[in-house]
Amino acid sequence: MPAPTTALDAARPASDNSDRRQLARVARRLADPELGTGALASIRRGDPATVSRQPTYHRLLRELDDAALAGDGALRWAAAVHVLGILARPGTPPNARPTGEALAAAGLPESRLARLLASRDEAFRDQAVLAARFLHSRDEACSALDLAELALVEGRREGRADQLRHRLARGYYQVLDAAPAASGKD
């Protein structure tokens, strides 16, 4: 028997059932040329705290309820939106290449990956933004959803955070391990 629907549940959009779906929606909006270059630039500039004060940030997250933004939620969402904005490619749909694979292909040093995976809280959000800027500077397209979702869940839902960290590392090392095989070296 399904749980009874409350007035709050009825008012909440069905799309708000999953952080991942909301992040994918934000990524699509950021890649939409109709968003405008100024709006995208406001998301790419500065740091998550700066992003959280931009009208575009609020416009992108208009479907989130207050609970998602409570406590440090607004800053977590700002970090996630910031990462997605840095990696958005207007006029093209978000890429499906996993973030870990893109980081390896772009040449991110293993020590920086280790720092990204080991960091927590504000330090993690800083490392996530640095990784996104690194990918952007190398013109490496990827799905940043894992990195953005990790900004939301680390420190809150560590089981899910560990899955995402593992996914990033797995993609990274699959590319590194395939490189010697592709070149015929051991």
Is residue 156 domain-resident? yes
How many domains would you assign to the chain? 1
Is residue 93 domain-resident? yes
- According to the model, what pLDDT value does residue 184 have? 59
Band (91; pLDDT cuts 50, 70, 90)? confident
- According to the model, what pLDDT value does residue 16 have? 32
Q: Give the burial string for 25-64 (b: 16+ CB within 10 Å, else e).
A: bbbebbbeeebeeebbebbbeeebeebbebebbeebbeeb
And the tokens for 153? 């869940």
Domain boundaries, position 128? 18-183
Say which CATH number the domain at 22 has. 1.10.520.40
- According to the model, what pLDDT value does residue 185 have? 54
Is residue 4 domain-resident? no
What is the tens place of the pLDDT at every residue in 127-185?
999 999 999 999 999 999 999 999 999 999 999 999 999 999 999 999 999 977 666 55
Is residue 32 domain-resident? yes
